[in-house]
Structure 1
Amino acid sequence: MDTVSATFRVHTELLESPGKCSRLSPLQLGVGEEGGSRDAREAELKLLELNSSGSASNRIVAPAGINGDNDYSGSLSCFYGFFIVYTNEIEDKENKKKTIYFQYLMNAYSEIKITNDMSNANIDPKEQEAMSLWEAPDKDGGDKPPPPLTNTSALIRLYERVVILEQRNREQDIVISNMSKQLSALTVAKRKQNNEMLLRYCMGNYIWRIDNFKARLDAMLKDHSKMLYSPGFYTSPNGYRFCVRLNISPQNPLCFALHAHLMKTEYDECLEWPFNGRISFAMVNQYEPDLTQRDTMMSNSNLIAFRRPTAEICLRGFGYTEYAVVSDVVRNGFVKDDSLVFRVHIKCV
């Protein structure tokens, strides 16, 4: 049994029976000449000095019920032993608290480090470059240790990262804008291609819908030289190509003129000239289909209009100079939703 344990046991006995201290041997008290501990004797001398030099409030007083010169030394040793044990217990508690705090800090640091490692794994090289500040190289050529992270450097890194993200966002906006333009262009090209396919494979049956008819009619009435042309359509995929023209009649400004014109194609050298066939027009009455105006005419091989065209559109057309009265077309149900519809059929004979 060591001295501290023996002293703690002695103090416990004193608390239970204060008068028992006079019956304890010097070996039990730890202050005997031969059996006592050196640390205990030194501690006893220090206590004597404290009691002799300290103030009344700082003095260590022997436990109550212990009297006599012979018991004084033993009682001081007992009390100082309790004082040492009590001090050790306080230090142990403080050390335990420090250990717990240190463990908490280590756990928090480990968690933060793991989180940073996981987040850094998802950051691309540009962001990692933005998060690391550039430092001027050392003049001596040695590696300069990285400066400690401060609030200013953290804000700078955060600002650089925001700039990188904004730049990337801007680049993505530009990419999306370019892709939208390309998609719009592809949509227009696809629609045009579909229209061309319809025109090429319509086999001479074409429906011409004139939208925004009222505004176009007003423009033609103000300027008789203005004319409306339909898209070019084919009698067969590699056959003749025609278009239809509508305008105010030069002979009678109150009437429409309607003509068919031949157009150049890439297969004209393979076709037979002049064109020989039948041309039919039908101005559709959109409210009463039975009142649709229908007209048919046969080609004339002696006319320039049916010879091989030398321009994109043959200057001579074939049709009617006074096809219909303008007021009748507007009032008699041919115009619906500001649209006028013609059905054209051209067939080779």
Structure 2
Amino acid sequence: MSVLDLPTENRPADFSGAIGTFSLAVATSPLDGKVGDPITLKMQLNGSGNFSLVKAPILTENKGWKVYPASGTVKELGSGKGEKTFEQALIPTEQGLTAVPPVRFSYFDPKAEKYVTLISDPVSLNLQAADEQTVSQAGTRAATPAAQTGGQGGKQDVSPKNPASQPARHLAPLKPELGELAPTIQPLYQKLWFQLLMAGALLCLLTALVLYFRQRRLARDPSILRRKEVAGRLAEHYEGMRKALAVQDQEVFHLHCRAAIQERTGEVWGLAPEAVTLADLEQRLPDESLLRTVFTRLEQSGYAGEQLAQADLEEILQTTRNELDKLA
């Protein structure tokens, strides 16, 4: 394989090293404006070739225009094909301009073995006249004469500076290269205080869920439900005993006291309250149990019709409550 040099004959002046086959498309925005307003020129090259060496097309005429450097991006399309898009800022500095001048791009076609130059059509514009101050400022930014004194006659050599090299006063030039990187703001999720806050919130959520499901389980537990029911009925019996004491109704007092003992012992022993008898208490409770004594006394008083003193009834009420609370 031999590598040939590119021919020098008929090489275009704007050739920058692009080799391949390309097509050129141009668009401009906005199309309406005033003298001194910036315009964006978009140039798109499609085809196959060495896109790394492809430079931006150049204006065929820049008189009356301030031209900024173009920035380009490359997009690979596969199978050796690609697309490179350039954007360039232009500012009209003179009145009477009716179109963006054509742009030209030259490349070497290895298949045809010749140089090819693509020239776009001019893009029509509708520019309104600006006030004299704006036109003067735009013209000054576009070209500032540089005076040199020389020769015998003291003539001045006035040559316009390259518009593309003038610094912008109202429009920053496009930057094709990435500048110096600066540290970014640390994301919120990487901060320690945020992580601790989220961990605490998650812990609270898990705790709430555990308590919620535990409460649901306990609410459906038969033993807990029965304990609540028994506690409610015991409270009713205690209240009935106090009311009976207030009116000195021993019969009602005896009924509530006996029922309270049966409710609590039936719950503990797994029996129906009405099935608990004195024989059960004597069999399951020790001889010194005060509940046995109270229940026996109530039975004897009920059968014999004995009337107990008010102080005795109050003592029975207190003893019954204390002993039932201790029963397990």
TM-score tier after normalising by the smaller chain length: under 0.3
Bigger helix share = 1
* TM-score, normalised by the number of residues in structure 2: 0.27
| Bigger Rg, structure 1 or 2 | 1
* TM-score, normalised by the number of residues in structure 1: 0.26
